[in-house]
Amino acid sequence: MATATLFQYHPLGLPSSANPKYLQSLGRRVEGVDFDHLSPQQTEEIVNQLYRHSILLFKNTKITPKQQFELTNAFDPKAGDYGHKTRTSKKDQQSILHPDLKTIPHQPQVQLIGNGPVPGRYEGLESPQLKHPHHKTFHKEPVSDADEAAGITRFYRWHIDAALYDLSPPKATTLYAVRVPRGEPQTLRYDDGTGDELKVPLGGTCFVSGRTMFDVLSPELKSLAVRTRVEYAPHPYVWMSKAHALPTGLGIESEGLELPLEDLPDWEEAKIKKFPVCWKNPVTGDLHVQVHPCGARKLHIERLPSGAQKSGALYPEGGVVEDLKEVRDILYRIQRPGIAPELVYPVDWEEGDLVVFHNRGLLHSVVGAFKPDELRMFHQCNLASTDEPEGPSEADIQTYA
């Protein structure tokens, strides 16, 4: 029997490209919420539902930066600061995230992101100039100008919102659409030799479930995934600042362009992050493949537990993988099946949409390209957590290793 809820939760309309078998439980549109009067019980229900569905969409909302911060904070009450540190030193400013964020001065956990010139004073910012990330600034071989003019695009970068060094990954991200330019849908090409393509709304945000990314793996790759931890580079966004991405936006080409560790801003061993490949959902207990492939530098693989089936097992003896190309190839094998066109949910934004997503349960990427004067404005908020993601339990290891 279904339990009564305080709000109404409706399935998201799926695009025709989506496979309902995997995507029907992903995301819910929530009705009946008044952000001016949210009780603790209502907030608790929203938090709980997010862990079950990974994406919550609220239509026609009006939410102030303060209310957005408070909602985001409800997922992690002990957290208080934005998910990335403010960059101050010259070396820090090489970070590839630098140009994309404008901090709202009166609510510094909330960032203004988007595209185009914002006229006048906005939330305390003087005529901020915004820039939608374009894949040609990041991918090794971008689509040609002619193809772009014909409406071809790419996933810019599949990622988790996380500093991946020192700070812990935010539990939830909230994205509030203030201004959304309308335009024709585009064709997203994977360009990785598979011929995969996907129709996407202009400037949509694409999501894939980390749980599905795990579920679709072969038993051998599930075994490897539950035994592996990813070590991220110190200051990964500076480390990768000269490197180029794969055409799928799911990781980096191995060209030897990463900055040497001694050229990075000061770092310490104790602040380097080592996260499991699979993160355990605290409400459902499901395993989600949660890897930010661009920042990965090493893999630490546990040997197979005694009694596990050895034939066909990958890395049965475990070990540390330090060769960057091998690290990336392994992660790509684990993650690429999960971004297949039928598993992608693209949000077709409308003004007033508020999306909350489980940042420890899915990956996301922006797509598309805007003209310099096309105005698009979003408020984004996430908070560096005070705890680390949990990995597979002993029982999970028994089941999957």
- Contacts with Fe ion by CB under 5 A lie at 161
Residue nearest to Fe ion (CB): 161
In the complex, minimum distance from the CB of residue 245 to Fe ion, in angstroms, rounded to a whole number:
15
Query: What is the closest distance, in whole angstroms, from the C-beta atom of residue 161 to Fe ion in the complex?
Result: 4
| Dihedral sign for Cα atoms in the order 161, 82, 230, 286 | negative
How far apart, in Å, are the Cα atoms of 277 and each of 62, 162, 166, 329? 37, 15, 18, 14
CA–CA distance, 17 with 201 (Å, rounded to integer)? 12
State the nearest-atom distance from the C-beta of 159 to Fe ion, in Å: 6
Closest CB to Fe ion among residues 157, 297: 157
Nearer to Fe ion by Cβ, of 228 and 359: the residue is 359
Q: Please, which residue, 378 or 400, has the CB nearer to Fe ion?
A: 378
Residue 142 dihedral angles phi and psi, to the nearest 5°: -70, 170
Q: How many CB atoms lie within 10 A of CB 27?
A: 24
**Smallest gap, in angstroms, from Cβ of residue 187 to Fe ion?**
23
Residue-wise over 348-372: b if at least 16 C-beta within 10 A, else e? bbeeebbbbbbbbbbbbbbbbbbee
Q: Which is nearer to Fe ion, 161 or 286 (CB)?
A: 161
Q: Which is nearer to Fe ion, 112 or 330 (CB)?
A: 112
Residue 51 or 378: which CB sits closer to Fe ion?
Answer: 378
Q: What CA–CA distance (Å, rounded) separates 150 from 146?
A: 6
Strands (E), 104-252: 110-117, 121-122, 125-126, 129-130, 152-153, 172-179, 186-189, 197-200, 205-209, 228-232
To Fe ion, the closest distance from the beta carbon of 380 in angstroms equals: 7
Residue 113 or 369: which CB sits closer to Fe ion? 113
Q: What's the closest the beta carbon of residue 382 comes to Fe ion, in angstroms? A: 8
Of 161 and 374, which has the nearer Cβ to Fe ion?
Answer: 161
Residue 205 beta carbon to Fe ion: minimum distance, rounded to whole angstroms? 8
Beta strands in 91-150 (DSSP E): 102-103, 110-117, 121-122, 125-126, 129-130
Neighbouring C-beta atoms of residue 306, cutoff 10 Å: 5
Provide the Cα torsion 376, 356, 359, 177; round to 10°. Answer: 0
Least distance (Å) between residue 170 CB and Fe ion: 10
> Chain-centre distance of CA 16, in angstroms?
23
